[in-house]
Structure 1
């Protein structure tokens, strides 16, 4: 946990945005894999962690604006719990660590909220994403599933606060990136022909766990980098393949990293792979250089897309004018997703609260229809204190390419004759993490090699 005063300050700042009512926060529960007592690893809700810091399951808190107090609803360990898990820090002790004095049994949550509602006070809550919490809201508030309506006002207040990372949060994010950098260096050095993808994935997981961290999301370690979220890891890799490693970790306090590198399985890329890697790296540097407060991330995304299109025109996969191609969204055949997203307590920070609130504004809403741009999770103007990822890529997806070719789509910008000869290329992505500063940006954590000669030097340090 952070210092007590940090959590107290966060709650006080949130409370100041409301004149009355209560703010209800539901913690997560342990979810069963295949029967009740065989559960997935527990992960607390991120907004609950942000304001209350307690990682125990089956908790709820109420911030009572009118009474000026915070109440924690939960239960102490029973003797059966102690028999199976041993005596642990009590709930009261945990509450004291984060500045909460009022603790009540969990079963008192419903009558407490009934009294609030009876007095015509408003109960605000965030969008529930666990099925248990949807059912719990129905129970404690007397609602049907169709009547669950999260508070937009509360969502916006939480997003505004969590959007700006404090010094102690940046320090945690730096820790997460540093470990991820070591993971990626290990992957590059150890990868060689004849291995399987899962061997690399297992090795970086072992490194993370030895640093007392866990993956912040299921890692993507694959020779099929054209599949954007490919979690299949059974392929045997050979010289000539590109391995894409998209992986990160989260610290004990829940802060995440999210890095990607693409590198040859053998010692070197082939000439076409080198050319396309250089195109992605140039787009990456173009986006990186544009990071600063006041600039819309959507515009940075489009700059990166133009850089990709220019490079693809030089190679011959595209033709015409790069700006015109991007305006027509023809580049989306090669870059189907967005340039990046917010990063923090979630690898896609606050995604549970809604992209329209986290990544966009009412004045500049998200485009939910245009292929490519509809997958951009962040579009609004950057502010000092935002933490973002930058991750351009080139992905040659055979099924998508063949569909566009059959439809003769964007034929004025795409050289299908040449592209169809390279449908087995795969994908390349490069990704780093940044905090926006008053004067520009700061790349988080240790430097992770990205230039071709740097990648090759790491390959040469590996074992044969």
Structure 2
């Protein structure tokens, strides 16, 4: 079977840095990498790089710090501070790229040992009009940045210059990350392909008497065998009423004949691009009448919502489309009473459908990027990727709103979600204005049965 090699294209990262520094203007940016986090005693959690740092550098090592210095001359604008090569440490934790690798492989104009950051940071920030740094996220780096800035401010009356503002780099970076370039979309197609085949494998294998944990193992083994870093998030494998708990991750119950199984599982590639797919199907191979009706309704809502994804729409429009189809169907089934517009305005459906219809997807599963700017919702543009995931969850956990009918027992314990990953595309490239990246995971009613 094909195993994915980590992808690294130096030019892609160089282009991102160039665009980022053009947005910075005269400000200097300090972007730290993640650090190792203790799991227990002297054992750390598996390392996960900071997505902003990765997006601009491609360096997958802890404790590094990247400086972006558009106020300095060419050849001095991208500086990395990294852990140096050290055989006595590398024999325990693996090879480091060191200062030489930071320059030769990752394109830094110059590189220094991480321990020198405190001494050298002030001179690198000298002359910047502002400092772009995210406060509150990096306790080891933050005092160094604040001290360097304070020193500049102290000297300002004599020198006549200092960085006059400390600003967050997030709005600039996250606006960039929201719109994926062709290489990113290709990576996300690959992540979706692996996850979709895992869902297909699981559905074919599931039988009454299996445990949720066995199904999780089957899916996550498939991720690893096909070159993914692993699961993109804690896999949800929820049989029966467990599916009515949105973030159920215990995955320890036995699957029962007559129940549905909801699987929400995606993988993360070695370069951190993610997929996020949910499918729901009958454990025993056949829907009951109530299950079929609710599944068909969720599927209709999802298909309508996906059809509404195209440039110029908003994530709010996509959600509103799903909600309207869902409420209309729930009225037809007798699970809601009243005028559709009034029910939507009152939120009288939220005991059955209580979450949004999707989120941005990329280097983070719930990826960065604004959904609205002030009073205005962000319009969808080519390159944006979002999930579309309506669901219905029928249980006694939430009170039925006043004026709505009590839920008959025949509906209770049915939890259904259907989720796909959808890229917004230029209509000149794709007439419908979108591409379903997770299309290989089947979802038609007939495909869910055997």
Residue aligning to 1:361: 373
Structure 2 match to 1:79 = 87
Q: 1:61 to 1:313 in 2, by over 3 A?
A: same
Distance 1:113 1:282 in 2: 56
Alignment partner of 1:17: what SS?
A: helix
Aligned counterpart, 1:190: 205
Counterpart of 1:41 (choices 38, 43, 46) is 46
Counterparts in 2 of 1:52-451, with a 5 A limit? Answer: 52-68=57-73, 69-85=77-93, 87=95, 89-115=97-123, 121-126=129-134, 128-129=136-137, 133-142=138-147, 151-152=167-168, 154-213=169-228, 214-223=230-239, 224-350=242-368, 358-364=370-376, 380-401=378-399, 405=400, 409-411=401-403, 414-416=404-406, 419-422=407-410, 424-439=412-427, 440-451=433-444
Verify the 8 A CA contact 2:30 2:133 in the aligned structure 1. Answer: yes
How far does the alpha carbon of each residue in 1:85-116 deviate from its partner, in whole angstroms, 9 at most, with x for none? 45554452244223213001112222333345
Deviations 1:141-189 (A, max 9, x none): 249xxxxx9734x222112211111111011000000000111011111
Contact (CA 8 Å) 1:110, 1:141: kept in 2 or not? no
CA apart distance, 1:383: 0.9
Does the C-alpha gap of structure 1 residues 97 and 288 become closer, same or farther in structure 2, counting only changes over 3 Å? same
The residue number in structure 2 matching 1:373 is: none
Q: Where does structure 1 lack aligned partners over 5 or more consecutive residues?
A: 144-148, 351-356, 365-378
In structure 2, distance between residues paired with 1:216 and 1:279: 28
TM-score, normalization by structure 1: 0.85
2:71, 2:128 within 8 Å by CA — same for their partners in 1? no
Maintained 8 Å contact 1:398/1:423: no
Change (3 A) 1:14 1:295: same
Matched position secondary structure for 2:270: coil
Q: Measure, in 2, the Cα distance between the counterparts of 1:211 and 1:19.
A: 42
Aligned-pair distance for 1:122?
2.3
Deviation at 1:227, TM superposition (A): 0.7
Residue by residue over 1:240-296, the C-alpha shift from the partner in whole angstroms, topping out at 9 and shown as x without a partner, is 111110000011111000000011111111110100000100000110111111112
CA distance in 1, matches of 2:185, 2:122: 40
Residue 455 (str. 1) matches residue 448 (str. 2): yes
Structure 2 equivalent of residue 146 of structure 1: none
CA distance change for structure 1 residues 220 and 87 in 2, over 3 Å: closer, same or farther? closer
Aligned CA distance change for structure 1 residues 82 and 98 (closer, same or farther; 3 Å): closer
Q: Within 1, Cα distance between the matches of 2:143 and 2:361? A: 31
User: How far did 1:397 drift?
Assistant: 3.7
Query: In the aligned structure 2, how far is the partner of 1:361 from the partner of 1:229?
Result: 29
More helix by share: 1
C-alpha distance in 1 between matches for 2:128 and 2:107: 28
Contact persistence 1:25–1:48 (CA under 8 A): yes
State the distance in 2 between where 1:447 and 1:216 align: 18
Q: Secondary structure at the match of 1:159?
A: helix
**What secondary structure does 2:141 align onto?**
helix
Contact 1:175-1:445 within 8 A present in 2 as well: no
Task: Classify 1:254/1:60 alpha carbon distance in 2 versus 1 (closer, same or farther; 3 Å).
Answer: same
Contact persistence 1:391–1:430 (CA under 8 A): yes
Q: Is the 8 A contact 2:71 2:127 kept in 1?
A: no
1:310-353 residue CA offsets vs partner (Å, 9 max, x unmatched): 11111110122222211111111111111001111111112xxx
SS in 1 for 2:244: coil
| Structure-2-length-normalised TM-score | 0.88
SS at match of 1:330: coil
Distance 1:20 1:89, change over 3 A: closer
CA contact (8 A) 1:60 1:72 kept: yes
Distance 2:398 2:134 in 1: 37
Structure 1 residue 380: Cα displacement: 2.6
Q: Root-mean-square deviation (CA), in Å? A: 2.1
Partners of 1:86 and 1:9 in 2: CA distance: 29
